[in-house]
Amino acid sequence: MTSYGTLDLDDMRYFPCSCKVCARHTPYELRGMSPKERERLLAWHNLGECFTEIKRIKEAINEGRLWELLELRAKSHPSLLQALKHLGEYPDYLEAGAPISKEKGMFYFGSSGLARPQITRYRNRLKRWMPPTQADILLLLPTPSSKPFHRSKEYATLASLLVKKGLEASKIHACFYTAPFGLIPMELDETYPLSQFEATLPLDRETVDDVARQAEDYVKGRGYSIVVLQLSPIIGAKVEAILRRIIRPEKLIISTSDEKEQDAEVKKLTSAINIAFKTLGNNSKSD
Ligand SMILES: [Zn+2]
């Protein structure tokens, strides 16, 4: 017995374990023993393995990493991963039993982690969250290079350029589209777990689709007049495709990200925001 499944003694050359039995014997030696002695030694190893796994689970709970352990174990056999996927069909049930806050950052390995309680809880909270009332322009930005996002160099460069241009900052509401949470308004990006997570790149297709759906839900439920989307190569394109279906063309302004230089990219984005203000001005005149 091992933490990732059972092995057949007849096929083994090494014991992947350091318990007393495995350290002192080889599989070859055990195969040569009497059945009774072999059974006694294997039982001793198996008992130790069970206790180790129980302690590992307890420590994972203590560290707030039970979900990570669950994913790790689930990937040791296809039927276990299948069970985890079924479990993912009940995100609200999983969320109800999870503690409110944890100290450790969250690791996201792929779409099997989308059902984890922290993500469900954040999304439920976001549904009830109201953006600043004076903000007419929703600015959708890709994941910056550091956390918290609103203190990243990308956002700082953009914010200072907007001030220089004299654009009214209170009318713009910046949200970051990012995996696995979906959409993170800048006001929330320092709260747990949004400031403490690591996601595996490149993202799988299910995760990309999920982020785009979250962006769609957020935009649909809010009353922004204009949406400015700064594209990113993978998620951005998906978000754009979804937003084009639900927003009138004149209300969606896209800023492409094909520039090599960050400064050029920010300038392009600032021009897009400028256009948004002009569109906003025209709209209010015609209202
Ligand atoms: Zn052992």
CA distance 173 to 228: 10
List where CATH 3.40.50.10630 sits in the chain.
106-286
Instruction: Report how far ligand 1's centroid is from the alpha carbon of 82 (Å).
Output: 29
Q: CA nearest 139: which of 233, 267, 270?
A: 270
Instruction: Report how far ligand 1's centroid is from the alpha carbon of 17 (Å).
Output: 5
Instruction: Report how far ligand 1's centroid is from the alpha carbon of 25 (Å).
Output: 9
E-assigned strand segments in the chain: 106-108, 137-141, 172-178, 182-185, 197-199, 226-230, 252-255
Q: What pTM value is reported for the model?
A: 0.84
Instruction: Report how far ligand 1's centroid is from the alpha carbon of 42 (Å).
Output: 8
CA distance 140 to 189: 14
**For 58-92, what is each residue's pLDDT tens digit?**
999 888 889 999 999 999 899 999 999 999 899 99
> In this structure, which topology does domain 106-286 adopt according to CATH?
Rossmann fold (3.40.50)
Structure tokens at 203: 């993202």
Residue 285 confidence class, pLDDT cut points 50, 70, 90: very low
